[in-house]
Structure 1
Amino acid sequence: MQLETYISDLLYRYECVTVPKFGAFVTQRVSATIDDTTNSFFPPKKVLSFNEQIQANDGLLAHYIADVEKIPFEVAVKKIDKRVKTLKAYLTQGETLTFKNIGEIVFNNEGKILFEPTYHLNYLTDAFGLSQFETSQVNREVYKKEVETIENVIPIGVTSEKRKSKPYLRYAAVAVVALTLGGFVASNYYVNQIETHNQLAQEEATQQLDTKIQEATFSLNPLPAITLNVTRQTGNYHIIAGAFRIEKNCIKRIEQLKADGFSARKIGVNKYGLHEVAYSSFETGQEALTALRNIRKSHNKDAWLLVRKLD
């Protein structure tokens, strides 16, 4: 029994997943962070930890295994108990237990469990599609100094003292004003000519259109009625194929999935502005979990289940 697979599935939806007589995997939401030393940005996530003191059977893991494997609840409890005994035996022998996409567990010198999480998956569904990235540092002070240097080399202002000492600056200023006014007058004349031409062309086109409308004969024949059978997907259990910042990529993904035979559709935009695409939606969690496992095996191992009521 791949116990870590069932635990991983449940960590997406619950804050605590207890393995009876062994311990509990606990998650805590952490906001997005910035590392100033490396200029790295990290999306929000769930931080994993392990609590050896929580060992009481709350039924969550056993019920999930029973639903997925189609076995009685009591049988699922026995399978968990058998697996836990094997895990403890490995730990007693000094071996390290590796839970895929969750972390590693080992006994320390005092016989206490040490847990080292591995963040290959972000169990915070709200952050789906977001990843870590780095950016270069913005050196505003350097650019400011460069601008000051350029201003010192190429002075722009002309003071009254400079105009008195250099009279040719006065004539240059007059010439600039004259050129500006001349250009403005010429520009207005050119614009007026264009507007007049456009108005005449528009009137001619309108007249030709009116003539054709009067000469046209329309034959309005009733069209046969068409009955369309449209199947609307319902349910609050959605298998997510991806979330995209650009809507064009979202539409392209839907077309690919429909070509593969899935009833893919866009189910909306989450609070991070990402367009979410679903393989399909289901009325019950059992149907959704069965479809999720099949999709992970045959099409996309990163597909996940979203439980949300759509508007």
Structure 2
Amino acid sequence: MQLEPYISDLLYRYECVTVPGFGSFLTRRTSATIHDTTHAFYPPKKVVFFNQQIQENDGLLARYIADVEKIPYEDALQVIEKRVAYLKSYLVAGDAIVFENIGSLSLNKESNMVFEPSYSFNYLTDAFGLGQFTAPEIAREVAKPAATITKPETPVVPIAEKKRQSRGYLKYAAVGLIAITVGGLVASNHYSKQIEAHNQLAQETANAQLEAKIQEATFVINSPLPAVTLNVKKQYGNYHIVAGAFRLEANSDKKVNELKNLGFEARKIGTNKYGLHEVVYASYQTREEATRSLLDIKKTHNKEAWLLVKTIKE
């Protein structure tokens, strides 16, 4: 039985899929990128890695195969063991193993597994429907220098004639300046008095309203209530075991109350990009603690529960 389809399905939902006795496929999210030369835009994605050291069975792959194929868990483990023995013999023979849509594995001179990921497939569900595209380079116009404006030449007037003309203009200008100055002083004094009267009236009105409100709001508490201290336990951690996502917030509240009645530290962690209200069984500080709790929940309560890694502002 081929293991690739089951591993590929699980990589959409989990960051680590372990093949017992063989190794683990890990994923890491990368941001969108732009190629400097080709101007190609690449969407965010999950990059797949392989770690030969993580071989301990966590039950994830075997349980998924058992659920899909409708076979006992022990039979699924035997299927994995047979496939792993075949893959190892293939590698020892010097051949490379190709996992469709995941990558290829081969042995180097030191007999260590070398993994080459497949870049043609994206396991990031948030980037579903986003593909690579190339945008043309933006042509930027260079600003042209401003045109030089030529001023018209001033006609030449004899010095004696200019003096006679300027003396006549100065007489009328002096009389006009005196009239403007006197009128401006009178208007300025009148306007200043109006502003001062307006400000004084507004201040008195504001003081009266403030005093009336203070008198209305003054009261004495003869028997104040005792202070109440609430000890609230905050849930921290970036590893969350998801119980479900709901379109209606009332349904998510109902689910939280249901899980709390069963003894879980359930809560809502906000909405995802599709506007669904996410409800979790609990949140944990470390992946190991969350993985142990997830396996227990899958065995006793909900096989569809899954692990979400998400930073939440508390």
What TM-score comes out, normalization by structure 1 length? 0.49
